[in-house]
A and B are shown apart, each in its own frame.
Chain A
């Protein structure tokens, strides 16, 4: 069995291709998911960082405001004329202080732990400032106007200016932290870009390899397909050759058997008849029994001669070889007429008698088959057989007035056989028929001139 390894060869690369394309797809999916996830992370952390920066800025603003505000509150305290408004200012100072501390705590929570030292310094300075301010409330009322104002404009103002400077530093730290975050982000992007480029390069490389392999495989398959197509064509051709050889071998065999039967068996029987007659001539007239036996021998021999004659004609009519196509066709027509009552007209050109043997035989067999069909299926009353020679071709048609059939659907073995014969001689075979409209078999054969 040849086909088995061939099939294996055809499908051999399939698992490799499936695996290759599968992993390529998987790789691209993973790369895509990774890129998406990283981008999402970057976006989220960027947003958060920016929010933090803004919140830090706002908190530091509040701290700055609180520092000024508390100084103003304490100045108002010094200027207060009655106890009630003094108490109110003290209370406002406490509130401001508390708010400012909260704002600083908020800022501390948002600032990177590496900057804790600066923050810590500032916190201590702020606590000291609070103490400075709180000291004002302990100044006796009679000294408030003079010493208080002086204290406020020297000690407090100086310290306040330092504190504000420190807040500005904290702002700078916050901005730096923001810049550092931006730098980290850029770095993440760069890393992502690098990895994606690597994956892409790998994917493209693998893809190219796979494509090359696929092309190689496809070309191989195409070559194989072409080769097999050629094989099929060759096989078909050989089959046709074989069937043609079979047909001609069969024809040759028939001719040989027909001749043998006619020349040997038939002649021997004829001789037997004659010898029987000669034997009787030497028998005395009163030997009636002998004469009777010889008579029945002669009758049997005559019957056998007739059988042989019919057999030889059915196998291959001798006129086809002795006189050519036209007498053979006319004989065939007469036989069909006698046997079936169908009227068969033969119109054949005399030149059709000098055709090569293969052509002669082909036409004769086609007509024989067509007439056979007319008699068996068509219920025809009249059949016309026409053989014409036109330039370098022979045109033959057999048409009947029978019931016809659907030529597009029915294709009996007889028609196929006729077609085979005609095609082998390079001719054209055509059957036209439709129910109720008779049948016409038409053949065109090239004649080598």
Chain B
């Protein structure tokens, strides 16, 4: 049973979400918050497995609320459900600790799959977001005219990249690829250097852009 907290300032939206989620037998909505601050408080009280979080909310916006919730309890998987369809919102949500970014206009189709993915520790993005990120990335590559830095990675590094992007921990990756923990960490550092990235969220974003994960 996955326990879910809804955070959205629109009652109609919350009602719709609750209806949608409770059609699934293994999902249970344990609380509804009408603003960011309330969401943080309820997350601390209820310890939900998943928080469905809107960004535009009074008191405290969804990105900040996500940061506070994940800081307090890293096991809580936050899925952003927003109207905003822009890279800056996606990357800030990921940096705040969200694992999924969903667009409200495709919530009905993606929400269940997204909850499944993030409870397994993977990332999830709405197709609209994926195509947007890819489009922007291709456009930027075109503009700069640079070689795709993905070509610089070795086969092993590409494997590690995919697993990292899917949300696997270093330990899991080590056992999956039959490597030492130290080697996995080295690969990780090399990947970040070669791709000129600085954090796990950026790496996930990169993987989405490249179409390595979906």
Chain A residues, Cβ within 8 Å of B89: 319, 322
9 residue pairs bridging A and B, Cβ less than 8 Å apart: A267-B104, A270-B13, A271-B10, A278-B19, A305-B83, A319-B86, A327-B88, A331-B86, A334-B87
Known: A268-B12, A271-B12. A337 touches B83 (CB 8 A): no
CB-nearest residue of chain B to A303: B105
Residue pair A270, B55 in contact (C-beta under 8 Å): no
Interface residues of A in 328-344 (CB under 8 A from B): 328, 330-331, 334, 337-338, 343
Assign chain B's interface to a size class: 20 to 34
Question: CB-CB contacts of A323-365 with B at 8 A, as 1s and 0s?
Answer: 1000110110010011000010000000000000000000000
CB distance from A15 to the nearest CB of B (A): 74
Q: Is the CB of A396 closer than 8 A to any CB of chain B?
A: no
From B85, B92, B105, B139, give the contact of A270 (CB < 8 A): B105
Give the complex CA separation of A184 and B19 in angstroms: 136
Q: Is the CB of B20 closer than 8 A to any CB of chain A?
A: yes
Residue pair A331, B88 in contact (C-beta under 8 Å): yes
Chain A residues, Cβ within 8 Å of B109: 277
Chain B residues, Cβ within 8 Å of A255: none
Question: CB-CB contacts of B123-151 with A at 8 A, as 1s and 0s?
Answer: 00000000000011001000100000000
Chain A residues, Cβ within 8 Å of B86: 313, 319, 331
Chain A residues, Cβ within 8 Å of B17: 274
| B-binding residues in A (CB < 8 A) | 259, 262-263, 266-271, 273-278, 281, 301-302, 305-306, 308-309, 313, 318-319, 322-323, 327-328, 330-331, 334, 337-338, 343
Interface residues of B in 1-24 (CB under 8 A from A): 8-10, 12-13, 15-17, 19-20, 23
Residue pair A273, B143 in contact (C-beta under 8 Å): no
Residue pair A274, B108 in contact (C-beta under 8 Å): yes
Chain A residues, Cβ within 8 Å of B56: 259, 262-263, 318, 322
Question: CB-CB contacts of B66-96 with A at 8 A, as 1s and 0s?
Answer: 0000000000000000011111110010000
| A-binding residues in B (CB < 8 A) | 8-10, 12-13, 15-17, 19-20, 23, 55-56, 61, 63, 83-89, 92, 104-109, 135-136, 139, 143
CB distance from A200 to the nearest CB of B (A): 92
Residue pair A323, B92 in contact (C-beta under 8 Å): yes
From A273, A276, A327, give the contact of B104 (CB < 8 A): A273
Give the complex CA separation of A266 and B88 in angstroms: 19
CB-nearest residue of chain A to B143: A343
Give the complex CA separation of A331 and B12 in angstroms: 30
From B9, B88, B105, B136, give the contact of A273 (CB < 8 A): B105
Chain A residues, Cβ within 8 Å of B106: 302
Chain B residues, Cβ within 8 Å of A309: 83-85
CB distance from B56 to the nearest CB of A (A): 6
Chain A residues, Cβ within 8 Å of B105: 269-270, 273, 301-302, 305-306
Chain B residues, Cβ within 8 Å of A278: 16, 19-20, 23, 108
From B13, B135, B136, give the contact of A267 (CB < 8 A): B13
Chain B residues, Cβ within 8 Å of A334: 87, 136, 139
CB-nearest residue of chain B to A266: B83
Known: A266-B83, A267-B83, A268-B12. A274 touches B20 (CB 8 A): yes
Residue pair A271, B136 in contact (C-beta under 8 Å): no
Residue pair A274, B13 in contact (C-beta under 8 Å): yes
The 6 closest A-B pairs by CB, nearest first: A277-B108, A274-B16, A270-B104, A327-B88, A271-B12, A305-B105
Chain A residues, Cβ within 8 Å of B12: 267-268, 271, 275
Chain B residues, Cβ within 8 Å of A323: 88, 92
Give the complex CA separation of A447 and B153 in angstroms: 45
Residue pair A305, B104 in contact (C-beta under 8 Å): yes
CB distance from B201 to the nearest CB of A (A): 15
Residue pair A270, B107 in contact (C-beta under 8 Å): yes
Give the complex CA separation of A275 and B87 in angstroms: 28
From B87, B92, B107, B139, give the contact of A337 (CB < 8 A): B139
CB-nearest residue of chain B to A264: B10
Residue pair B83, A330 in contact (C-beta under 8 Å): no
Give the complex CA separation of A278 and B84 in angstroms: 23
CB-nearest residue of chain B to A313: B86
Known: A267-B83, A318-B84. A273 touches B139 (CB 8 A): no
Chain A residues, Cβ within 8 Å of B9: 263
From A274, A308, A327, A337, give the contact of B143 (CB < 8 A): A337
CB distance from B188 to the nearest CB of A (A): 26
Give the complex CA separation of A213 and B63 in angstroms: 78
CB distance from B139 to the nearest CB of A (A): 6
Chain A residues, Cβ within 8 Å of B108: 273-274, 276-278
CB distance from B33 to the nearest CB of A (A): 15
Chain B residues, Cβ within 8 Å of A259: 56
Give the complex CA separation of A262 and B85 in angstroms: 12
Residue pair B139, A338 in contact (C-beta under 8 Å): yes
Give the complex CA separation of A277 and B139 in angstroms: 34
Q: Tell which of A262, A270, A271, A328 has the most Cβ of chain B within 10 Å.
A: A270
Chain A residues, Cβ within 8 Å of B84: 309, 318
CB-nearest residue of chain B to A267: B10
16 new A-B contacts, CB < 8 A, other than A273-B107, A334-B87, are A262-B56, A270-B83, A273-B105, A275-B12, A275-B19, A278-B16, A281-B23, A305-B105, A318-B56, A319-B89, A322-B63, A323-B88, A328-B88, A331-B86, A334-B139, A337-B143
Give the complex CA separation of A404 and B86 in angstroms: 32
Give the complex CA separation of A308 and B56 in angstroms: 15
Residue pair A330, B88 in contact (C-beta under 8 Å): yes
Give the complex CA separation of A275 and B92 in angstroms: 29
Chain A residues, Cβ within 8 Å of B20: 274, 277-278, 281
Residue pair A271, B143 in contact (C-beta under 8 Å): no
Residue pair A262, B83 in contact (C-beta under 8 Å): yes
Chain B residues, Cβ within 8 Å of A263: 9, 56
Give the complex CA separation of A389 and B104 in angstroms: 37
Give the complex CA separation of A318 and B10 in angstroms: 18
